[in-house]
């Protein structure tokens, strides 16, 4: 008797489910009033920001526990308890892919979002390029080696599969999530994510580049682009977009500046002025970045520049990240010695902290 092999079956399931991704075209239009493209909120509470979890549930829970936003790093996502009170946490996208627990990350974030709200706090989860690419149906490019990824190792244990691979392993059709029709509501949750958030005068998004648009104009561009072309719209997928702009080989705001050797961040400052903001917080960039003034942001560093104008918070949290590093959450809070000032503090998974900025409110 021949021994049954699961690998061809898994590949067949992957091809079959991706082939039905056209169903996403039949998804109902987004209700932008109920689920705005850009969340706007004011708060007097502490603000936290965490970027690029990339499927690493254990590391995410460890870091949130170190920041005292959850009680412990429970193995079960449903058992995590929000202990952040009225604090506000912003997740700046790319919480899926690269490591092997994307579904647990999603379950934990959805559960904590409800628990934080019940406690008077808030969790805002914005979209990253990985979420947009999944919803655009580009999973088919990543799924040709589904079976290989499920069983391959890289010396650290199981190699990071994508969200699609996790779904296939659980016999869930990725096309159902893309269309927002899966029974667990994961697809609908992903489809309704905001693209950015304005909290007080802080602007949070995945890659940062808003091209000098005002907040109303950017909101309209996002709505029009997604309504017309879905999550593969240029407003999300262009290499210099709000979800995709890079810091290498060129820093995007230096590239956008009239002066290619600008050392003051004027293009970045102009973008923020147009948004009515004074600070930009984004992820997407765990690698080192070299600036026109000769300064370098080291890979995996929680980084601020131009006296609090910009904060880069992707520190390579996930064990599946190429630039895997020291997981860090950003805390924005009143200075304990002078409440008229604001401070930004990096909190590490071991509980240690590092003040990276202090400035005027």
Task: Write down the pLDDT at residue 326.
Answer: 81
Query: Looking at residue 87, which CATH number applies to its domain?
Result: 3.60.21.10
Task: For residue 305, tell me if it sits in a domain.
Answer: yes
Task: For residue 178, tell me if it sits in a domain.
Answer: no
User: Which percentage of the chain shows pLDDT scores above 70?
Assistant: 85
Task: For residue 106, tell me if it sits in a domain.
Answer: yes
Tokens of 313: 């918070």
Lowest mean pLDDT among 222-226, 264-268, 323-327: 323-327
Domain total of the chain: 1
* Cβ-based neighbour number of residue 278 at 10 Å: 17
Name the nearest CA neighbour of 47 among 121, 119, 128: 121
Query: What's the mean pLDDT in 235-259?
Result: 91
| 109: exposed, middle or buried (Cβ count in 10 Å: 0-12, 13-18, 19+) | buried
Q: What DSSP letter does each residue of 225-280 carry, written as one string?
A: HHHHHGGG-HHHHSTTSTTT---SSS-HHHHHSSSTT-SS-HHHHHHHHHHT-SEE
Q: How far apart are CA 5 and CA 354, in angstroms?
A: 52
Across the chain, mean pLDDT equals 87
Task: For residue 218, tell me if it sits in a domain.
Answer: yes
Query: What's the mean pLDDT in 292-300?
Result: 92
Lowest mean pLDDT among 28-32, 73-77, 165-169, 181-185: 73-77
Name the nearest CA neighbour of 90 among 121, 42, 125, 117: 125
Please give the backbone phi and psi of residue 97, each rounded to the nearest 5 degrees, phi first: 75, 170
Which domain, by its residues, includes 56?
A: 28-127+192-360
Give the confidence band of 324 by pLDDT, cuts at 50, 70, 90: confident
**Could you report the per-residue pLDDT of 248-293, keeping only the tens digit for each?**
888 999 987 777 778 889 999 999 999 999 999 999 999 999 999 9
Tokens of 99: 């490591």
Give the confidence band of 149 by pLDDT, cuts at 50, 70, 90: very low
Task: For residue 156, tell me if it sits in a domain.
Answer: no
Q: What DSSP letter does each residue of 42-62 carry, written as one string?
A: --SS-EEEE---TT-HHHHHH
Tokens of 213: 């648009």
Task: For residue 137, tell me if it sits in a domain.
Answer: no
- Please check whether residue 107 is in contact with residue 77, taking contact to mean a CB–CB distance below 8 angstroms: yes
Task: For residue 140, tell me if it sits in a domain.
Answer: no
Task: Write down the pLDDT at residue 342.
Answer: 97
In 3-state terms, what secondary structure has residue 297? strand
Residues 6 or more apart whose Cβ sits within 8 Å of residue 173:
17, 20, 167, 182
Task: For residue 116, tell me if it sits in a domain.
Answer: yes
Q: How far apart are CA 246 and CA 284, in angstroms?
A: 8
Task: Write down the pLDDT at residue 72.
Answer: 81
- Please check whether residue 134 is in contact with residue 120, taking contact to mean a CB–CB distance below 8 angstroms: no
Task: Write down the pLDDT at residue 26.
Answer: 57
Buried b (16+ CB within 10 A) or exposed e, 170-185: eebbbbbbbbbbbeee
Quote the distance between the C-alpha of residue 133 and its chain's center. Answer: 13
């Amino acid at each position: 008797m021949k021994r049954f092999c699961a690998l061809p079956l898994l590949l067949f399931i992957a091809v079959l489910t991706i082939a039905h991704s056209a169903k996403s075209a039949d998804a109902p239009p987004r209700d932008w009033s109920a689920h705005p493209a850009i969340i706007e909120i004011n708060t007097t509470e502490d603000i936290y920001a965490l970027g690029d979890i990339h499927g690493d549930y254990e590391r995410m829970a460890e870091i949130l526990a170190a920041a005292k936003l959850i009680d412990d790093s429970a193995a079960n996502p449903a058992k995590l308890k929000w202990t952040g009170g009225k604090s506000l946490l912003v997740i700046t996208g790319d919480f899926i892919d690269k490591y092997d627990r994307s579904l647990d990350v999603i379950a934990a974030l959805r559960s904590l979002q409800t628990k934080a709200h019940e406690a008077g706090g808030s969790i805002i989860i914005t979209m990253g390029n990985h979420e947009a690419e999944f919803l655009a149906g580009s999973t088919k490019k990543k799924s040709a080696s589904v079976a290989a990824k499920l069983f391959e190792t890289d010396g650290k244990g199981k190699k990071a599969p994508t969200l699609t691979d996790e779904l296939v392993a659980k016999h869930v059709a990725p096309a159902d999530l893309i269309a927002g029709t899966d029974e667990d509501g994961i697809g609908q949750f992903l489809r309704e994510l905001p693209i950015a958030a304005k909290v007080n005068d802080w602007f949070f998004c995945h890659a940062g580049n808003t091209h000098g648009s005002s907040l109303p104009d950017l909101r309209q561009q996002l709505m029009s682009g997604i309504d017309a072309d879905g999550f593969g719209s240029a407003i999300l997928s262009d290499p210099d977009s709000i979800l995709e702009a890079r810091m290498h080989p060129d820093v995007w705001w230096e590239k956008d500046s009239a002066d290619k050797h600008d050392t003051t961040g004027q293009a970045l400052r102009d973008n923020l002025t147009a948004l009515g903001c004074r600070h930009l917080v984004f992820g997407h960039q765990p690698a080192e970045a070299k600036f026109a003034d000769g300064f370098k942001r080291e890979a995996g560093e929680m980084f601020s520049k131009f006296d609090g104008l910009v904060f880069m918070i992707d520190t390579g949290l996930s064990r599946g990240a190429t630039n895997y590093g020291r997981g860090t959450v950003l805390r924005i809070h009143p200075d304990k010695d002078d409440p008229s000032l604001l401070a930004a503090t990096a909190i590490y998974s071991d509980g240690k902290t590092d003040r990276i900025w202090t400035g005027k409110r």
